[in-house]
C-alpha cells in the first residue's frame, strides 16, 4: 500500500541558526511515517544579504561586494561548525567553498539584464541552506536526498517573477521525485527557484518558497502541506501591529486567497491555487510548538466569518490624478491611465474614481512618486499624499471599524458585505500635506 505524502515548507526563520536546523531535523524525524518532500528557504535573512551583495555588484562597489560575501560565507560556516562540531563533513565544506567561489566570480558577470543576473545570484541562499540541511539529516541517520529544484520546476524566462510551466513541471516531478519517495527517501529541495527552457535559473518572486511547496504538492498529489512558521498558525492580524491577536483555527481556500490578496503576509498569495485545484489541505503550524494544532486551510467555508481579520499596510502613498483638459474620466482615459501605470510595474492596492479624478494607493517605495510623475504628468495633474496606511477588515462590524479608525483621518473608504477598507492618515499629517508634482 502506498504511503501518504506530505510536503513540508521551512522558511528562513526556521533555519536561521544551528539550533533551528536541529529542531527542523527533529520535526522531520517525528513525521517519517509518511513520504516527505521538504522545501526550504534560505537561512535567516540570507536572501536580503544576497540582495545587498547584488546591489554592490550593480553599483560596482567591489569592496562592499567582497566584504558582504565574506560575511555571508562566515555565517554559513558558523552554522556548519555548530552543527558538526569536531566531526566536520568535508564534502559539505567543499560544496560551500565552491558556491562562494562562484558567488565571487559573479562580480565579473557582463550582462545588462538585471533581472536575469539577479536570478543567477540570489538562489545561492536556498542552495546553501538545503545542502547544509541535507548533510545534517544524513548525519542524523535520516535518509535524505538533495534534489535540485531547477531540474523540476520549469518556468518561463520572466526573471524574478517566473511563471510555472505546469505540464512540464508535473512531468519532471513525477520522473525525479516519485522514485525517490518510493525508496523511502526524504527529499530535500529548494523553495523559490526554478529554471527556464534554456536552463537559466529563475525565481518565483520574494517569499516564493510557499508557492514551491504548493507546486510539489500539486504534482505528486500530496495528502497535505505543512508550512512551519514562528507563529502558532494564521493569526487574525499581524502581531507587530496588534496586541490581542487570535489564531484562526480553520479557514477555506477562498478566504485564504482573499486574505493574502489584501496583504496578509502569512502565506505567499500564489500558494493556494494549486492546492485548491487538487483539494490538498494546507496547515500552518509552529516549528516552536510542533505538536500544537495550527491553522488548517481547506475547502469548507463555514468558519470563515467567525473571527474578523485585520490587515495593515503601512507607508502608503495616495495619488489623485485629474485630466489636464478637465475631460470626464471615462473608459477611454481610464484605459490610458492603466496602460501607463502598468508600464511602471507598480501595484495598485486600492483605487476609486469620480467624474474628474482617479485615486489610487501604492506602497511608497522604489521612487514611486518619480515613476508615477513621469508616467502621467504630461496629460494629468498629479497630486499625492504620503505617510498613509491601508487597513482592511474582513468580516467587519461597527466596533472593529471604530477601533481601527479611531483618531485617524479617513481619506478613502470602501465596503463590501464582507470587507471594509480604509486609507488612513494621522489627523495632522493627512490632507494638509497634499503635494502636487
Least distance from ligand ASP to the Cβ atom of residue 417, Å: 33
Nearest to 269 by CA among 221, 311, 318: 311
Tally of residues, the chain: 437
Closer to ligand ASP by Cβ: residue 185 or 209: 209
Site string for ligand ASP, 232-251 (x = CB under 6 A): --------------------
Q: Rounded distance, CA 358 to CA 255, Å?
A: 29
Select the residue interacting with ligand ASP from 27, 39, 42, 259 (CB under 6 A).
42
Closer to ligand ASP by Cβ: residue 206 or 371: 206
Least distance from ligand ASP to the Cβ atom of residue 211, Å: 8
Q: Rounded distance, CA 254 to CA 217, Å?
A: 18
112-115 contact pairs (CB < 8 A, 24+)? 113/159, 114/58, 115/159, 115/160
- Do 312 and 259 meet the contact criterion of CB atoms below 8 Å apart? no
- Binding of residue 47 to ligand ASP (CB under 6 A): yes
- Binding of residue 206 to ligand ASP (CB under 6 A): yes
Tell me the sheet residues that pair with 322: 381
- Binding of residue 323 to ligand ASP (CB under 6 A): no
Least distance from ligand ASP to the Cβ atom of residue 126, Å: 6
- Binding of residue 209 to ligand ASP (CB under 6 A): yes
**Hey, how many other C-beta atoms are within 10 angstroms of the C-beta on 379?**
17
Select the residue interacting with ligand ASP from 5, 24, 28, 41 (CB under 6 A).
41
**Segments of 205-294 assigned E as strands:** 224-229, 250-252, 282-286
Select the residue interacting with ligand ASP from 12, 194, 214, 294 (CB under 6 A).
12
Least distance from ligand ASP to the Cβ atom of residue 309, Å: 22
Select the residue interacting with ligand ASP from 191, 194, 233, 323 (CB under 6 A).
191
- Binding of residue 255 to ligand ASP (CB under 6 A): no
Closer to ligand ASP by Cβ: residue 55 or 418: 55
Q: Name 44's Cβ contacts closer than 8 Å, sequence gap at least 6.
A: 12, 13, 15, 16, 17, 75
Least distance from ligand ASP to the Cβ atom of residue 204, Å: 8
Burial class (CB in 10 A: 0-12, 13-18, 19+), 184: exposed
Closer to ligand ASP by Cβ: residue 9 or 421: 9
Q: Rounded distance, CA 95 to CA 115, Å?
A: 26
Least distance from ligand ASP to the Cβ atom of residue 372, Å: 26
Closer to ligand ASP by Cβ: residue 164 or 317: 164
Least distance from ligand ASP to the Cβ atom of residue 31, Å: 21
Select the residue interacting with ligand ASP from 208, 281, 294, 425 (CB under 6 A).
208
Closer to ligand ASP by Cβ: residue 363 or 409: 363
Q: Rounded distance, CA 364 to CA 385, Å?
A: 10
SS3 123: coil
Q: Rounded distance, CA 28 to CA 19, Å?
A: 14
Burial class (CB in 10 A: 0-12, 13-18, 19+), 79: buried
- Binding of residue 214 to ligand ASP (CB under 6 A): no
Q: Among the candidate windows 88-96, 205-213, 221-229, 390-398, which touches ligand ASP by CB under 6 A?
A: 205-213
Residues 97-136 that bind ligand ASP (CB under 6 A): 125
- Binding of residue 207 to ligand ASP (CB under 6 A): yes
Select the residue interacting with ligand ASP from 5, 11, 118, 162 (CB under 6 A).
11
Burial class (CB in 10 A: 0-12, 13-18, 19+), 42: buried
Closer to ligand ASP by Cβ: residue 43 or 329: 43
**Within 13 A of 190's CA, how many CA atoms are on the CB side?**
28
Q: Among the candidate windows 92-100, 165-173, 207-215, 229-237, which touches ligand ASP by CB under 6 A?
A: 207-215
Q: Rounded distance, CA 22 to CA 28, Å?
A: 10
Chain residues in the site for ligand ASP (CB under 6 A): 11-12, 41-42, 47, 125, 191-192, 206-209
Amino acid at each position: 500500500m502506498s504511503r501518504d505524502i506530505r510536503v513540508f515548507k521551512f522558511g528562513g526563520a526556521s533555519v536561521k541558526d544551528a539550533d533551528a536546523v536541529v529542531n527542523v531535523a527533529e520535526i522531520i524525524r517525528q513525521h517519517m511515517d509518511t513520504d516527505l518532500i521538504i522545501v526550504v528557504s534560505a537561512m535567516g535573512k540570507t536572501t536580503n544579504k544576497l540582495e545587498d551583495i547584488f546591489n554592490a555588484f550593480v553599483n560596482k562597489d567591489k569592496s562592499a561586494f567582497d566584504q558582504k560575501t565574506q560575511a555571508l560565507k562566515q555565517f554559513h560556516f558558523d552554522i556548519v561548525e555548530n552543527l558538526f562540531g569536531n566531526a566536520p563533513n568535508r564534502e559539505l565544506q567543499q560544496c560551500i567553498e565552491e558556491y562562494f567561489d562562484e558567488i565571487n566570480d559573479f562580480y565579473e558577470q557582463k550582462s545588462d539584464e538585471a533581472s536575469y543576473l539577479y536570478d543567477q545570484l540570489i538562489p545561492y541562499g536556498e542552495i546553501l541552506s538545503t545542502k547544509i540541511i541535507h548533510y545534517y539529516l544524513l548525519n542524523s541517520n535520516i535518509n535524505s536526498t538533495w534534489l535540485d529544484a531547477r531540474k523540476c520546476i520549469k518556468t518561463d524566462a520572466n526573471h524574478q517573477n517566473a511563471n510555472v510551466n505546469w505540464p512540464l513541471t508535473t512531468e519532471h516531478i513525477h520522473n525525479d521525485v516519485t522514485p525517490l519517495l518510493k525508496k523511502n527517501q526524504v527529499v530535500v529541495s529548494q523553495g523559490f527557484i526554478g529554471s527556464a527552457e534554456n536552463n537559466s535559473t529563475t525565481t518565483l518572486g520574494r517569499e516564493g518558497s510557499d508557492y514551491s511547496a504548493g507546486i510539489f504538492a500539486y504534482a505528486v498529489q500530496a495528502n497535505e502541506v505543512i508550512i512551519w512558521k514562528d507563529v502558532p498558525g494564521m493569526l487574525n492580524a499581524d502581531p507587530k501591529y496588534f496586541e490581542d491577536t487570535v489564531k484562526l483555527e480553520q479557514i477555506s481556500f477562498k478566504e485564504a486567497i482573499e486574505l493574502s490578496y489584501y496583504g496578509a503576509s502569512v502565506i505567499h498569495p500564489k500558494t493556494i491555487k494549486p492546492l485548491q485545484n487538487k483539494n490538498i489541505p494546507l496547515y500552518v503550524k509552529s516549528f516552536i510548538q510542533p505538536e500544537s494544532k495550527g491553522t488548517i486551510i481547506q475547502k469548507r467555508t463555514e468558519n470563515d466569518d467567525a473571527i474578523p481579520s485585520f490587515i495593515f499596510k503601512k507607508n502608503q502613498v495616495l495619488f489623485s490624478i485629474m485630466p489636464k483638459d478637465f475631460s470626464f474620466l471615462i473608459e477611454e482615459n481610464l484605459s490610458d491611465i492603466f496602460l501607463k501605470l502598468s508600464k511602471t510595474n507598480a501595484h495598485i492596492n486600492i483605487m476609486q474614481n469620480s467624474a474628474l479624478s482617479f485615486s489610487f494607493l501604492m506602497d511608497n517605495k522604489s521612487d514611486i512618486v518619480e515613476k508615477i510623475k513621469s508616467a502621467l504628468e504630461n496629460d494629468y495633474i498629479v497630486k499625492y499624499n504620503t505617510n498613509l496606511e491601508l487597513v482592511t477588515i474582513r468580516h467587519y462590524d461597527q466596533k472593529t471599524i471604530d477601533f481601527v479608525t479611531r483618531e485617524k483621518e479617513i481619506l478613502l473608504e470602501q465596503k463590501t458585505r464582507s470587507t471594509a477598507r480604509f486609507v488612513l492618515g494621522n489627523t495632522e499629517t493627512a490632507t494638509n500635506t497634499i503635494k502636487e508634482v
